[in-house]
Structure 1
Amino acid sequence: MKFNKGKKAKKIGLWVGYVFSYFLFTTILYFILSYAKSSVDWSYFAVIGITIVIVIIGLLIRRALK
């Protein structure tokens, strides 16, 4: 029997990399917005929402261009 561990490991690696990149981008965006001296007090959860909207827009654009 041959077990194809490469596909499962690659899928897990892609998922972990995506989640890590998501939180890294969210944290960087949070610090940029918090140090921007804007009148709006940004919470981390608001920035997570903004990032989710950016991800959804990116997925919609990718689907539209296929």
Structure 2
Amino acid sequence: MHQIIVHAFADQVAVVEVLFASQDKEKVAVKYQELQEKFPNDYLAIYDLPMDVNLDSLPHYPSVEISKEDFE
């Protein structure tokens, strides 16, 4: 199974991006720590990413809620 690190932030615009993907959980953990230090005020999350699955059929999948105010 792959894991991805999602990064989200809002300045002038809201941005949601996948910054890292790997099957190696140790590499993901190290990169997550690096990103926490680089982006201490932003949203970061690690998601398990099963292959060949409709992600929206899972109870929880890579997503970030953005409010309408985030776009104003």
**With structure 1 as the length reference, what TM-score do the two structures score?**
0.31
Could you say which structure has the higher strand fraction?
2
Which structure has the bigger radius of gyration? 1
